[in-house]
Amino acid sequence: MQTLRRTPLFERHAALGARLVPFAGWEMPVQYTGIGEEHRAVRTRAGVFDVSHMGQLLLAGEGAREYLQARLTNDLDRIDDGHAQYTLLTNEEGGIVDDLIAYRRGGDDYLLVVNASNVAADHAALPETEDVSDRWALLAVQGPEALELLGIDVEPFTFRENSDVLGVRCLVAGTGYTGERGCELGCAPEDAGRLWDAVLDRGVVPCGLGARDTLRLEVCYPLHGNDISPERTPIEAGLGWACALEKDFTGAEVLRRQKDEGPDQKLVAFVMDDPGIPRTGMPIEEGGEVTSGTLSPLLGKGIGLGFVDAAHAAPETPITIDLRGRPRRARIVPKPFYKREET
C-alpha cells in the first residue's frame, strides 16, 4: 500500500469540506460543493485549482535546447524567451509518454511542467533534467474574471518569474486546462497557503479535479492516461499540430510515415443522442472505445472522446456506444464542444 502524498494545501482542502480522493499517487480534492457549481464558476467568473501535484523538470545550461529539441515533438525555436509551448514527449514507436508545457526562460534554459502520474517516466526519458517538483506549489486560477480579480494581466502562453501576486512571489503563466482565460501561479511550497487564502479572499471559488475534468473535456484537451498514452501516437490523437515533423526527435520517423499513410484510428469527439453518460472503456461499435466521458454541464448531454476507425471519424457520423450492455446512439462532432467568446 503506497502512502498518498499531500500538497501544502491539504489541510485547507479538508477544512473547506472537500471530498478527497486518490489521484496519481496524491490525495486531492475532487470537489468542494459540487462539480456542476464549480464548473459554472469557472465558465462565468473564476475558480482556483490546487495543481501542486503536477511535476516540474528543469534543464539549463549549454546544450539544453539541442537536448530537448531531439526529444520533444514541438519546435522550441517557435517561441521566444518568456513564452510557453504545448509539446509532447514521445517514445521510439511514436507513442505519447507525456504531454507537457515547456517554458522557455532562455535559449538554453527550460522549465517543463508535466503530469503528476508521469514524472518518473518523463525523468527516465529526459535523464539530464532535474526533477524540481518538490520546490513548487502550483495554483491554476481560471475564468473570465480570474485575472481581473487577482489584479494582474498575462497574455496566453507567456510567463514571468519573481512577480508579486497578492503579496506572494510567483511565476505567473498565461496557461491552464479549462479553455478560459486565466493563469497558473507557481510559488514556493511554504507560500502556497498564503497565496491560496489571498486568492479565495478575492472571491475566487475553490474547484476540484472533478470540475477540472469536465472543463477540459468540453474544450477537448486530452488527458494523458485516458485519451493519450504510450500506445497512441499524436497523429492518431489529432495532435499533429504540436509535432514539428520537419525536425528529428524520438519516434519522428514513425509519425512522418503515419501522417503520410493516415492512421488506422482517430481520436474523435462525440455527443450522445440517446440518454446516458459515456464512460472510459466503453466499447464503440465503429472501432475503438471511449477514452473520456461525462455529462457536459454546458450542454446537459453526455459527451466524450474516443477512438474510432478512420473511416468513421468524420463529423456527423453516427456511432453506437455500448453503455453497460445497452447500445446507445451518439454522433461525432467537430472539436471542441465549447469555445470561449473572444473578448
Among 214, 258, 265, 291, binds other proteins (CB under 8 A): 214
Number of residues that bind other proteins (CB under 8 A): 19
Measured distance CA(239)–CA(232) in Å, rounded? 11
Q: Write the binding mask 163 to 202 for other proteins: x where contact by CB under 8 A, - elsewhere.
A: ----------------------------------------
Distant-in-sequence, close-in-space partners of 15: CB < 8 Å, separation ≥ 6: none
Q: Which is nearer to other proteins, 265 or 294 (CB)?
A: 294
Q: Could you say whether residue 134 binds other proteins (CB under 8 A)? A: no
Q: Which is nearer to other proteins, 18 or 308 (CB)?
A: 18
User: What DSSP assignment string belongs to 136-188?
Assistant: -EEEEEESTTHHHHHT----TTBEEEEEEETTEEEEEES--SSSSSEEEEEE-
Strands 83-90 and 96-106: antiparallel
> What Rg, from alpha-carbon coordinates, does the chain have?
20
Q: Write the binding mask 310 to 339 for other proteins: x where contact by CB under 8 A, - elsewhere.
A: --------------x-x-------------
Query: Which range of residues in 41-49, 173-181, 290-298, 307-315 is near other proteins by CB under 8 A?
Result: 290-298
Q: Could you say whether residue 295 binds other proteins (CB under 8 A)? A: yes
Q: Which is nearer to other proteins, 195 or 215 (CB)?
A: 215
The answer to whether 244 and 251 have CB atoms below 8 angstroms apart is no
Which helix or strand (DSSP H or E) is residue 261 part of? helix 252-261
Q: Could you say whether residue 277 binds other proteins (CB under 8 A)? A: yes
Q: Could you say whether residue 34 binds other proteins (CB under 8 A)? A: yes
Query: Which range of residues in 32-40, 74-82, 309-317, 332-340 is near other proteins by CB under 8 A?
Result: 32-40
CB of 297 to other proteins, least distance (A): 8
CB of 44 to other proteins, least distance (A): 17
Largest alpha-carbon pair distance within the chain?
58
Strands 19-23 and 55-60: unpaired
Q: Could you say whether residue 35 binds other proteins (CB under 8 A)? A: yes
Question: Which three cell numbers, joined as nine digits, stand for 91?
Answer: 517514445
Q: Could you say whether residue 36 binds other proteins (CB under 8 A)? A: yes
SS percent in the chain: helix, strand, coil, step 5: 25, 35, 40
Among 7, 31, 175, 258, binds other proteins (CB under 8 A): 31
Measured distance CA(330)–CA(162) in Å, rounded? 48
Query: Which range of residues in 27-35, 82-90, 99-107, 123-131 is near other proteins by CB under 8 A?
Result: 27-35
Q: Could you say whether residue 210 binds other proteins (CB under 8 A)? A: yes
Measured distance CA(188)–CA(216) in Å, rounded? 26
Place of cell 521566444: 80
Measured distance CA(222)–CA(228) in Å, rounded? 7
Q: Could you say whether residue 276 binds other proteins (CB under 8 A)? A: yes
Place of cell 475558480: 47
Beta strands in 166-252 (DSSP E): 168-173, 182-187, 205-206
Q: Helices 35-44 and 209-218, interaxial angle, to 10°?
A: 60
Site residues (CB under 8 A) for other proteins, limited to 223-262: none
CB of 211 to other proteins, least distance (A): 9
Binding site for other proteins (CB under 8 A): 19, 30-31, 34-36, 210, 213-214, 275-277, 279, 294-295, 297, 302, 324, 326
